[in-house]
Structure 1
Amino acid sequence: MTRGDDLLKEILKIFESLRYKRDLWSLYSDFLEMMAIAISNSAERYFLPKSFEKREQRYLSLAKTYDKEELLKMSEVFNLFVKLQDYNLESQGARDILGGLLMQLGLGNKWAGQIFTPDNLASLLARISCSEEDVKKQIEDRGFVYASDSAVGGGVTMIGLVNAMLDGGFNPQRYLFVECGDLDKRACFMTYIQLSTLGIPAIVKNQDALLNKVFDVWFTPAFYLDGWWFRLKDFKAKDKGEGLAKREENIEQSKGNIEERKEILTKKTERHQEEEEIIDKEDEQLSLF
């Protein structure tokens, strides 16, 4: 048994000790939100004071529903989680700890029967979709790799990308930027906690991607480092400009296609009229007999 197994066993043991007093699903949900707020407020205290105050009040309202012993156990779980995160990075690569934990606690059915993607599959998909050559090109072109996922779940796809970059010899803390979201706020908390503790600059949105509505936005602490606010702004402005240029090119191309279609339709129409005249003449001749 590895140290990682021991750490996970300790985490499960603490949650199991609390489930006799609490609904485990509600407990796990509150744990995720409180840990996400604690991480967020460590940075937003200085950068987004209004958001800090709002989230601090939410944290306190949740904390009031638990006694001191339960809060201490939640804190211990988070401490063990960070240690497990570090162990995984050193030994086998980043892992979707929170998604795996949810399944091991038997809470998958509570989440509309959702099954989380295995870590090895997520890493494989990341290597296929973002090869070493792709990573090099993006870094050369814009200085970093930009990744997005509008239905990120617990963040396993982004964790897979972290591993793919590490395997390719690239530091994801320096060269990866993630912008992602999910409709389920718990999924956002899971993604946010895991990307934050991995040191990845990211924006995580609680959103309805289909209706284009954003309910809440979470910035990882690493987002505030290395000028990511300005780097992302420049990237999006450039991307928008390139998109507009491409759209104008497509419009001009479409105009040409429209003119070609007009010529084709005109020729077809003329030929159709000629055929009708021939048929009419034949009909006239046939009517004589």
Structure 2
Amino acid sequence: MTRRQRVEGAAMSGDPYKGAIVKLMREFSHSHNPSTVFSDFVEICALAISNRVDTLQVEPREKRYLEIVAKYKTEEVQRFAAMFAQLQLCYRERVEMLGDPGIGDVHDSGLGDVLGELFMALELSNDRAGQFFTPHSISMLMAMMTVGDGASIREQGFVTMQEPACGAGGMVVAAAQAMHHAGLNYPETLHATCVDVDPCCVHMAYVQLSLLGIPAIVVHGNTISLKVWNVWYTPAHVFVGWGLRLRRRRDARADTAATVSDDGEAQERDDLHPAQAPVASTIPASSESCMVNGDAACGCFDDVGAGDVTVALEESHIGKAVASAVSIVDLFEESTVGASSMKPDRTIFDAIEQMTLF
């Protein structure tokens, strides 16, 4: 048995679905680089999920999908589909094994970081700048210590999590599992904003969080420079209506931060709330029902057609409105430029918070 086979066998840990994915991956080895195959696989999965929920990005992402599959034969594309099916089955079984929130013990594997484990088992880290992902057991230990019995989260209603270098999203998965064992329903009580500079990591994180029903915004960007290249919204972010929930909390905090000047006029702290009034833009989509919950409660305006997506944006501090941007990436570009030029200590998460999409 070779060293690689020993590493792969240890990573599989008796999981038939992970074993099936590795076996299918090996069938590409004669004609394609394994690192490229894995990257293309997770990107195809991400594109397939995104195009079901993010109507604003369908055209460019469908074009990107066609670019990827053009490199492969028909039977190889079908192999990708089989790998995706195995990944979905793997996570469906793991979610079912968790049971209801607050019931059962914390298992070593639990939800797990399946794609991160596969990435390490296939020894792809050596091909990608020496990347190494935190073992799930360590992530779980950190998450359990942070979440505790979940009392503080219950008091707040929900918590938001920010990951500046998310990797495959393992820490977010661990946080969701820890909240589940604390008796919390994580699709309703946890929202994550994840950033990574590596597109492969972004796609891995997006796929895993999507399949596990974790509400999240996954950003391909540079946390240090605030550069943003792409933005991905998990289905749970859309269907549970997290855009509206996050906007309401932001507005509530802005109201709390308001101070009264000497002449009695209310003023806002500009580090917590933009100085300009919000600009609303409605972008039509081709769907039969609202993408969040099908009624006015989702935050869509009454005069917007069914399936339309309402995008509420704040103008930047330099007075440059971002509502005229033509894509989600443009919106983030405008927001990050405005934030970084006025406040050097602002982060990429501040820029993301300025916008509420879906």
Partner of 2:224: 210
Provide, for residues 122-156 of structure 1, a one-character-per-residue CA deviation record: whole Å limited to 9, x for no partner.
01101112322xx3333333x32211111111101
- Asked if 1:23 is matched to 2:23, the reply is no
What is the identity percentage for the equivalent residue pairs of Structure 1 and Structure 2?
Answer: 33
Deviation at 1:215, TM superposition (A): 1.3
Alpha-carbon spacing, 1:62–1:244, altered in 2? closer, same or farther (3 Å) = farther
Provide, for residues 42-92 of structure 1, a one-character-per-residue CA deviation record: whole Å limited to 9, x for no partner.
1123xx2xx111111111111111111001111100100111112223444
Q: Which aligned pairs between 1:95-244 and structure 2 lie closer than 5 A?
A: 95-132=112-149, 135-141=150-156, 143-242=157-256
Deviation at 1:243, TM superposition (A): 5.9
Matches of 2:62 and 2:137, distance apart in 1: 36
Alpha-carbon spacing, 1:89–1:226, altered in 2? closer, same or farther (3 Å) = closer
Give 5+ residue unaligned stretches, structure 2: 1-8, 98-106, 260-267, 270-358
Matches of 1:32 and 1:224, distance apart in 2: 21
Q: What's the TM-score once normalised by structure 1's chain length? A: 0.78
Matches of 2:67 and 2:34, distance apart in 1: 19
Q: Which aligned pairs between 1:270-285 and structure 2 lie closer than 5 A?
A: none
Deviation at 1:100, TM superposition (A): 0.4
Deviation at 1:244, TM superposition (A): 6.7
Partner of 1:268: none
Aligned partner of 1:53 among 50, 59, 62:
59
Residues 51 and 61 of structure 2 are in contact (CA less than 8 Å); yes or no, is this contact kept in structure 1? yes
Matches of 2:201 and 2:251, distance apart in 1: 29
SS in 2 for 1:19: coil
Provide, for residues 166-213 of structure 1, a one-character-per-residue CA deviation record: whole Å limited to 9, x for no partner.
111111122211111111111110110000000111100111111122
Task: Flag the structure with higher helix content.
Answer: 1
Residues 180 and 204 of structure 1 are in contact (CA less than 8 Å); yes or no, is this contact kept in structure 2? yes
Alpha-carbon spacing, 1:233–1:13, altered in 2? closer, same or farther (3 Å) = same
Provide, for residues 238-276 of structure 1, a one-character-per-residue CA deviation record: whole Å limited to 9, x for no partner.
34455677x97xxxxxxxxxxxxxxxxxxxxxxxxxxxx
SS in 1 for 2:32: coil
Matches of 1:152 and 1:189, distance apart in 2: 11
Bigger radius of gyration among the two? 1
Aligned partner of 2:70 among 48, 64, 68:
64
Deviation at 1:237, TM superposition (A): 2.6
SS in 2 for 1:18: coil
The code of the aligned residue for 1:85 comes to Y
The count of corresponding residues between Structure 1 and Structure 2 is: 240
Matches of 1:62 and 1:239, distance apart in 2: 44
Q: What's the TM-score once normalised by structure 2's chain length? A: 0.63
Matches of 1:8 and 1:70, distance apart in 2: 18
